[in-house]
Structure 1
Amino acid sequence: MRDFTAQQYRLSRRAFLSASLAAAGGLALAACGGSSATSAGGNNYTLALILGVKGDPFYITMQKGAEAKAKELGVTLLVDGPAQWSATLQTPIVNAYVARKVDAILIAPCDKQAMIAPLQQASNAGIKVITVDTYIGDGDYVHGPVTFPLSYIGSDNVQGGKIAGEALIKAIGGHGKIYIQNTVPGTSTTDQREQGCKEAIEATHGAVTLVGVDFNGDSAAKAAEQTTAMLQRVPDLAGIFGTNIYGSEGAAQAVKNAHKQGQVKIANFDAPEQAIIDLKNNVVDIVIAQKPADMGSIGVQYAVDALKGNMSAIQKRVPTGYVIITRDNVDTPEAQAAIYKSS
């Protein structure tokens, strides 16, 4: 069993590559309802970053990383995203940026199938497409069914789910019952995290059993309701894996309400400030921090490389790694730097 206490999982050794993206153009920004970051000079490119959902600390952190890189390189960055995790709401944002004739789109697709067609239209219009965090098709842009995106930049989510599962299994003593709190079926990242956790459970050869998986629709309130029902049905539940911010937050609230802190162990995927508070208060036991700022920064850099014709600098798949945060290392500089921003 790996020691997760203070180890950072680095899934790519590639250095950040060269150059970046996007300066002013065209219509008023209000047409897309987003925000912009601009610095004088640069290459006169316009880049659009389309988030999975507005207001989520993960995507706020991604936006900050992208904005910092855009400022460093002297380019314009436009940012928008739907108010809820929904391909139906995300598609018009893509269409608006296509109409605006931006040079490149960085996007966290809300659905791996439904977002193929609108992004294909963007690519057909000559817009460079890069996916960050989530992907379309099967994420294999070399041999898979969808190959037009230039790159998929994000965590190895099967491995991330397996890391979380293994850490949770260790926390419960290697045997017992585990429950998975998931979000929206068809979301590439969380589907894979569930898969990875299940692989970790299967590797125990029956010592650990999965008692259920629920989908909360990206609602912490619904996750709390579902987890409360599970705690009532399975009073000897040993551990819970929350596949993203909302599932983890709702599960933690349900465990607190049931006064089972410490008794029911929780592996929290994603590292908002509330997760760190819950960790310090012994409600959550493991926090898996992704690197959304890196995703945004590398995406900006890749987009400009592509616009400059420097395709040799671009990798089709860039895993961005994790930081595992526990009570033993939560106050270290590395762990503190990995906590997501709320504003």
Structure 2
Amino acid sequence: MSLFSGRRARAAALLAAAVLVASGCAKSEDTAASPAPGGSEAQQQVVKTPSGPTGAGCTIAQQGAAKFDLKTAVVGFSQSEKEANPFRIAETQSIKDEAAELGIANLKVTNAQSQFSKQISDVQQLIAQGAQLLVIAPLNSDGWEPVLQQAAAKKVPIITIDRKINAKHCTDYLTFIGSDFVEQGKRAADQMIKALDGRGKVAILLGAPGNNVTTERTQGFKDQIAAKAPDIEITFEQTGEFAREKGQQVTEQLIQSNPDIDGIYAENDEMALGAVTALKGAGKKAGDIKIVSIDGTRGAVQGIVDGWIYGVVESNPRFGALAFETAQKFIDGESIPEKVIIADREYDESNAKDSLSQAY
């Protein structure tokens, strides 16, 4: 009997039906249908349908790894950041919940507490403890060479989730599972253009430096603004490090230095919520400054309901089902692509109230 049964059969069917994306060529109009409202299935990730060639994949034979049973294998999960962020809480819980449902008895979980050197040592320790599969949420995209060398020497497949590592597919890691971050930035720009009627001054609260999420969300937003709304001017950019407190501090500075700002693009919800606190402290009213962000946390969706946030592009953190389904396909000899891109929904005033239960 397959490891995946019951509700996992639906996840397997979704994954089998959708060709996994091996390049960033998928477009928003090519996504699978959004999950229906309500119930646990509404929270599951859906694989994006590619609009172009998927390229070469990677098999267990190519990696030279030995087959293993997920139920009895030592599986290591490395979380990168402190779990004060709802995204990280939901991400880790998804991995734990799925492992429990599948009967994976030897899941080892570490948390680097936002320290990259600790994450490297965490993963090295997981390898030393006999991990046969590694699922990593990387803090940074570079600097993984020591881990990759040790994992390759022991033929341990690596799945990265939500952030990429700069390394060679199949040789160094198996696959990346996550969102199209450039597309997220473009969709956030579309929301900002609508909020400002295509004209105004906008500030960007940048994410933490050193990873592809920040770079690509910034690129997508700027490219879309330049292409579609030349009368929108980006007048301020500063990192809020994906943290609520830092987002608040930067927004407080922004209000002082750019009192005529019309919109704020926050590259995650925590910074957006920090910005809301700063605006309230400055005596602003809901809607005075249009805020658009990315993630889909319950706090941010509530912010839409309350009028403080204009719109949110989801970045779904529930990686458990898809990560283990991908691992099982690899073990079974199927070819796994370099990227598995997921579809993300959007929240705005038209659906925020009804969608609160589906946010995390």
TM-score, normalised relative to structure 1: 0.80
> How far is the alpha carbon of 1:339 from its aligned partner?
1.0
Give the structure 2 partner of residue 131 of structure 1: 160
How many correspondences in the alignment?
299
**2:242/2:270 contact within 8 Å kept:** yes
**What is the root-mean-square deviation of aligned Cα atoms in Å?**
2.5
On the 8 A contact 1:116/1:137 being kept in 2, the answer is: no
Q: 2:151 aligns with which of 119, 122, 127?
A: 122
Out of 338, 346, 350, the position equivalent to 1:324 is 346
Cα distance in 1 for partners of 2:308, 2:292 equals 10
TM-superposed deviation, 1:259: 2.9
Percent identical residues: 26
* 1:203 CA drift (Å): 1.2
How do 1:7-46 residues align onto structure 2 when only pairs under 5 Å count? Answer: 8=34, 12-13=48-49, 43-46=71-74
- Rounded Cα–Cα distance in structure 1 between residues aligned with 2:71 and 2:248: 48
- Partner residue, 1:53: 81
In the TM superposition, residue 171 of structure 1 has moved relative to its aligned partner by 0.6
Give the 3-state SS of the residue equivalent to 1:106 in structure 2: strand
- Residues 339 and 205 (structure 1 numbering): CA distance in 2 closer, same or farther, change over 3 Å? closer
1:189 equivalent to 2:213? Answer yes
Structure 1 residue 277 corresponds to structure 2 residue 302: yes
Residue in structure 2 matched with residue 32 of structure 1 by the alignment: none
Contact preservation (8 Å) 1:289, 1:338: no
Matches of 1:62 and 1:339 in 2, distance apart? 13
Equivalent residue number for residue 282 of structure 2: 258
CA distance in structure 2 between the partners assigned to 1:195 and 1:119 by the alignment = 28
| Aligned twin of 2:334 | 311
Q: CA deviation at 1:263?
A: 1.4
Alpha carbons 1:256, 1:283 under 8 Å: kept = no
Instruction: Determine the structure 1 residue equivalent to 2:127.
Output: 98
Give 1:49's aligned amino acid.
Answer: F
Write the distance in 2 (CA, Å) between the matches of 1:51 and 1:245.
19
CA contact (8 A) 2:295 2:313 kept: yes
Task: Return 5+ residue gaps in structure 1 as ranges.
Answer: 15-40
Name the CA distance, whole Å, in 2 between partners of 1:276 and 1:232.
Answer: 27
**C-alpha separation in 2, matches of 1:325 and 1:265:** 14
8 Å contact kept, 2:192–2:290:
yes
C-alpha distance in 2, partners of 1:247/1:254? 10
Deviations 1:137-177 (A, max 9, x none): 17x737xxxx5211110000000011011111111111111
Alignment partners' CA distance in 2, 1:189 and 1:117 = 22
Q: What one-letter code is carried by the residue in structure 2 that aligns with 1:44?
A: T
For residues 39-74 of structure 1, the C-alpha deviation after alignment (integer angstroms, 9 at most, x for no partner) is xx9641121111121312112222232233323322
**Contact 2:97 2:320 (C-alpha < 8 Å) held by counterparts:** no
Q: Which piece of structure 1 moves more, 99-108 or 223-232?
A: 223-232
Tell me, in whole angstroms, the C-alpha distance in 2 between the residues paired with 1:316 and 1:324: 26
Aligned counterpart, 2:320: 296
| TM-superposed deviation, 1:212 | 1.8
Q: Aligned pair in 2 of structure 1 residues 271, 205: CA closer, same or farther (>3 Å)?
A: closer
1:232 maps to which residue? 256
- In the alignment, structure 2 segments of 5+ residues that lack a partner are 1-27, 36-45, 51-68
Asked whether the equivalents of residues 242 and 266 of structure 1 are also in contact (C-alpha less than 8 Å), the reply is yes
Question: Hey, what's the Cα distance between the residues in 1 that align with 2:242 and 2:295?
Answer: 13
SS of 1:311's equivalent?
A: coil
Per-residue displacement from partner, 1:263-309 (whole Å, max 9, x unpaired)?
A: 1000121122221232221111112222211x232112222333x34
Residue 339 of structure 1 pairs with residue 346 of structure 2: no
Which amino acid in structure 1 is aligned with residue 131 of structure 2?
V
Q: 1:29 is matched with which residue? A: none
- Mapped to 1, the partners of 2:123 and 2:101 lie a distance apart of 25
Which of 189, 203, 207 is the matching residue for 2:231?
207
